Amino acid sequence: MLEVSGLTRRFGGLLAVADASLHVPAGSIVALVGPNGAGKTTLFAMISGFVPSDSGKVVFAGEDVTGLGPHVICARGLVRTFQVVQPFGRLSVRENVAVGTHLRVADRREALARATAVAERVGMGHLLDRPAQALTVAGRKRLELARALATEPRLLLLDEVMAGLNPTEMTEMIRIVRGIRDGGVTVFLIEHVMQAVASLAERVHVLNQGRLIAEGAPAEIARMPEVVEAYLGHGVAERMTAQAAGGAR
């Protein structure tokens, strides 16, 4: 579904992403993890066309999309969410989601009807008429997910959709993300919450100081000394190994 090769991006003297190559198979949930400032969001921004790469190539669904603009890439079926969510505060949840559905349908009523269906899919059916600015953190995260989903992607890039959620909200979000994949959308997600990574992702890529340093199943990367040193720490690694042994839910 997604083939990234040699993607590189510098900001001035800083090498934010260096020669990143990875593969996201169709129908899978793949995670990207790594410390703050590792370059995760920059990598997503290059894949989705928001930030031009200095070199490298992005192939989506068999087509080279390198250098295309974000709207063109979105129309092809590859969409990202933003780590810092900025909904239209005074617009309702339904209207915010309709910004996404309008990519596929011009008719206003149809766009709003589809927005309603998408909002219900992410558990926001009871919040449709609420202004976005009245939402909690969890509500805003769901709205961001709904806005992206509304564009009818084949590949969804999620940038920290679990951040700031309490355990109940996180369990619900994990269920929603799994449901999206089961509905036929491939998911590539950036996540710091290792419990979510271990329970959702089939494969995990680890980025550290702009470089991909490891790749494997969650339980495998939790056993790699370089990953534990660079990112996880020993406590998290042990919990992930135990979670995998106990069967991830």
16 binds, among Mg ion, ligand ATP, none (CB under 5 to 8 A by kind): ligand ATP
- Based on the shown chain and the rule CB under 5 A, indicate whether residue 96 belongs to the binding site for Mg ion: no
User: What residues numbered 86-145 form the site for ligand ATP, per CB under 6 A?
Assistant: none
Question: Toward ligand ATP, which CB reaches closer, 98 or 170?
Answer: 170
- Based on the shown chain and the rule CB under 5 A, indicate whether residue 48 belongs to the binding site for Mg ion: no
Residue of 4, 7, 30, 38 that binds ligand ATP (CB under 6 A):
38
11 binds, among Mg ion, ligand ATP, none (CB under 5 to 8 A by kind): ligand ATP
How many CB atoms within 10 Å of residue 63?
Answer: 10
- Based on the shown chain and the rule CB under 6 A, indicate whether residue 40 belongs to the binding site for ligand ATP: yes
CB of 12 to Mg ion, least distance (A): 18
CB of 32 to Mg ion, least distance (A): 10
Cβ–Cβ < 8 Å for 143, 132: yes
- Based on the shown chain and the rule CB under 6 A, indicate whether residue 42 belongs to the binding site for ligand ATP: yes
How many CB atoms within 10 Å of residue 67?
Answer: 12
Cβ–Cβ < 8 Å for 51, 42: yes
How many CB atoms within 10 Å of residue 198?
Answer: 25
- Based on the shown chain and the rule CB under 6 A, indicate whether residue 36 belongs to the binding site for ligand ATP: yes
Residue with tokens 């790699």: 224
Question: Toward ligand ATP, which CB reaches closer, 43 or 127?
Answer: 43
Residue of 1, 2, 7, 16 that binds ligand ATP (CB under 6 A):
16
Q: Residue 205: beta bridge partners?
A: 32, 215
**Chain mean position to CA 229:** 25
State the DSSP H helix or E strand holding residue 64, giving kind and residue range, or none if neither.
strand 63-64
Question: Toward Mg ion, which CB reaches closer, 40 or 147?
Answer: 40
Cβ–Cβ < 8 Å for 131, 96: no
- Based on the shown chain and the rule CB under 6 A, indicate whether residue 168 belongs to the binding site for ligand ATP: no
CB of 10 to ligand ATP, least distance (A): 9
Among 8-16, 102-110, 164-172, 211-219, the segment contacting ligand ATP (CB under 6 A): 8-16
State the DSSP H helix or E strand holding residue 203, giving kind and residue range, or none if neither.
strand 203-208
Taken in order 134, 137, 139, 140, is the CA torsion positive or negative? Answer: positive
For residue 150, what are its two tokens? 């509304």
Binding residues for ligand ATP (CB under 6 A) = 11, 14, 16, 34, 36-42, 83
